[in-house]
Chain A
Amino acid sequence: MISNEKSANSASLVDINNLTFKRGERVIYNNISLSIPKGKITAIMGPSGIGKTTLLRLIGGQIRPESGQILFAGNDIPQLSRKELYKVRKRMSMLFQSGALFTELSVYDNIAFPIREHTKLPEAIIEKIVLMKLEAVGLRGARDLQPNELSGGMARRVALARAIALDPELILYDEPFAGQDPISMGVIVRLIRSLSDALGLTSVVVSHDVPEVMSIADYIYIIAEQKIIGQGTPEQIQQDKSPLVKQFVQGEADGPVPFHFAAPHYQNELIKNSPVLGSALNSMSSSALSNRGQI
């Protein structure tokens, strides 16, 4: 176990040690540690609102932790000066959940933006790079469209092309599968995989889509209740005996994590304020009623 962790550390790009982060009074992370191996796809899973996006922002240095280390290639992100942080950020990029394309720029200019901003390459070469990145996401034909003319899936792919424009070492994907149609989903899954395999990119995929993550990740961390409740390869996660992990992976509503927010008895509450509805509900079978409740 200990030797395992040592070897992981020597080959890792990001190391998070004893990280604690609070939003106001609320503790989001309580003393967690994890490491992201170089050249691999690491997934971070957990229910919505648990702090997955927050973790990516912590790695990107957009917010500072209460305490703990966030090492990126040996640089402790929270300790860096503004200038050093901006330098480190050129080596990573983040695919935002919404795509975050610049609305006033065309698809072409969106992808050219980071290149123009950080290099002095002539326009002819920039055009070649942009077309190459667009071809990689299958959208070379969309170069002259405006972001508002793209479907959600296309926007996500353009954003991915922009994220890889400067060939970063690390890509942080925030919910890349959420709200995608099956075709876009397939394209994105293949892209993430091939970026990692062909270019040796390190990827962090944050998601709550269990099947996609299982199919793509090399290593998985599952977060709940401010800490890591399970980790391992997809196979190890599948076989995990912990009830928390099982509940999350198999998507069961009932388990250690309750589906229902604490509330008064459902049927009583419906009947309370409406005698007519009450009698109507009483004539229904209670099983039908509780089924409706689940939907």
Chain B
Amino acid sequence: MQQLQLLGKNTLALISGLGRAVIVLLSAILHRPDFRKGTPLLMQQLYNVGFLSLVIIVVSGGFIGMVLALQGYTILVGYGAEASLGPMVALALLRELGPVVSALLFAGRAGSALTAEIGLMKATEQLSSLEMMAVDPLRRVIAPRFWAGFISLPLLAAIFSMVGILGAHLVGVDWLGVDSGTFWSVMQSQVDFNKDILNGIIKSVVFAFVVTWIAVYKGYDCEPTSEGISRATTSTVVQSSLLILALDFILTALMFAV
């Protein structure tokens, strides 16, 4: 009985949280854009959210590409199929690892920072202060951060995949001795634009939307205390990571299963 009550309570909390998240997002982004004021704000956030995540994306992409090439080579060489190293690595990166791993990294690097920043602005009454100055914090603070995350992540995922392929080339071709021409030409013939590249982009756009939405909402909705901010930050990372993985499964099933 008690568990049933708890279940009911949690379900209600989930639904009302979802409702608030929808309202926050819609009131932030549904209005006539003001390019004169909005552009510099968006630029600032593209730098904070996107550019500052570049290092971790490039380094991780490089290492993952290198590991993929190493692992792939040892398996493929057993069948004399090391010529397929290029497409194997490229497909793994473009379809799965690029969008998913960069989204996970982005949630940890930029998502948590967004939540903490907005939460701190709330706790120090900066958001209330904007409201009292007749400036809507949803448009002024939330909207540019949301758009910046939404734009940045797909670009970061593309960079991740590119650097990953270069890393695989470094290990596969320069170290293990796969022929460079084979590496590239087989990759080109095997990778399909619609099926592989476009689907990867769609995935990363979906992840960008979800991760950034969670991050800005958690910050805006957090309890304005130090504990509240730290709880919100943790929950941004946990919830976005789980949602990324679950959505990845669903999207993969829709895109590649048939």
Contacts and interface: CB of A to CB of B under 8 A. Distances in A.
Interface of A: 57, 60, 62, 86-87, 89-90, 92-94, 96-98, 100-103, 113-114, 117-118
Would you list the 5 A-B pairs with minimal beta carbon distance, nearest first? A100-B129, A100-B125, A89-B134, A86-B134, A96-B125
B39 to A, nearest CB: 15
A92 B120 CA distance: 25
A98 B129 CA distance: 10
B34 to A, nearest CB: 11
Given A92-B132, A100-B126, A117-B133, 13 more contacts: A62-B128, A62-B132, A87-B134, A89-B132, A89-B133, A94-B129, A98-B125, A100-B128, A100-B129, A114-B133, A114-B135, A117-B135, A118-B133
Interface residues of B, number: 13
B239 to A, nearest CB: 26
B192 interface: no
A96 B132 CA distance: 10
Contacts of B136: 86
A93 B129 CA distance: 9
Nearest to A88: B134
Contacts of B121: 103
Interface in B117-149: 120-121, 124-126, 128-129, 131-136
Interface of B: 120-121, 124-126, 128-129, 131-136
B132 A94 contact: yes
B40 to A, nearest CB: 11
B124 A98 contact: yes
Contacts of B133: 89, 93, 113-114, 117-118
Contacts of A113: 133
Contact of B128 (A92, A96, A117, A118): A96
